[in-house]
Amino acid sequence: MKNELLVFASKDHPLYKKLKENDLLTHELKKEGLDPIHEKNIDIKYIFDFSLGRDEEKAHILTHLAKKFEVPIFSDLSCVHGERIIELYPSVKGAFSAAFLTPTNTFEGYAKNDEDFLVMESFFHLIGMKLFRVENPGHGFTLGRTLSMIINEGFFALDDYLATEKNIDLAMKYGVNYPLGPMEWYQMIGPKPVYQLLESLHLTTGDKRYIPASGLKEAFERE
């Protein structure tokens, strides 16, 4: 399968190192965009997109790929409006939310048909990860939305000097039996996926619940 793939990832994607260690990255994603791909490669059968970015940045990358290649694209839609992306880009045959790491190394995945889901599942097995299938690629998928809001609440507590990071984590782990506390999860994921998903949700819905805390915004801007 490896020889049939075009795979790229943002360097700040939580799985970037894992992809690199397993010799799966074929292109680097730079600030100005994807490494130039001047010619169609007839050997490529599948594209896996692990880019992190705002909705318009994801759209730019997918438009570029769809023009260059007539092959299925499987895209990480952790930070964007997944249903809209799937609707706009027919070449995106599957989606996953892999920027929100879990202790079980399991991620949400979506595909309309079984064959495409099996392709995604096989790829994630190459890096020792698992997918579970969901019915639709909701905004950031369910886990991403939930974790982002929990982490954001942790930052609001820090902003208001209500508790320390340690106490915030202990409260969530022992109070509601979460495997990790909000700040521990944040350390695994990093600021970019959390901030950009909240930003996208707020822009789409106008709901004030999704406004990023000032501490989270500052962490994102330092990246």
Mean pLDDT of each 10-residue bin along the chain, 223 residues long: 83 90 82 53 84 90 88 95 93 96 93 96 95 93 94 95 93 88 94 95 94 96 86
Say if strands 73-76 and 92-97 run parallel, antiparallel, or are unpaired. parallel
pLDDT for res 44: 86
**For residue 44, what are its two tokens?**
């490529």
pLDDT for res 53: 86
pLDDT for res 184: 95
What separation in angstroms does the CA of 60 have from each of 51, 56, 65, 67? 11, 6, 9, 11
Put the strands of the sheet holding 106-111 in their side by side order: 33-34, 27-30, 5-9, 46-50, 73-76, 92-97, 106-111, 130-133
Nearest to 182 by CA among 192, 171, 193: 171
Say if strands 106-111 and 73-76 run parallel, antiparallel, or are unpaired. unpaired
Q: Does domain 142-222 have CATH number 1.50.10.10?
A: no
Domain ranges of the chain: 2-133, 142-222
Would you say the C-alpha torsion 162, 167, 168, 170 has a positive or negative sign? negative
Rg for the chain, CA atoms, rounded = 18
**For residue 164, what are its two tokens?**
């320390």
Q: Note the CATH number of domain 2-133.
A: 3.40.50
If 0-12 CB within 10 Å is exposed, 13-18 middle and 19+ buried, where does residue 126 land? middle
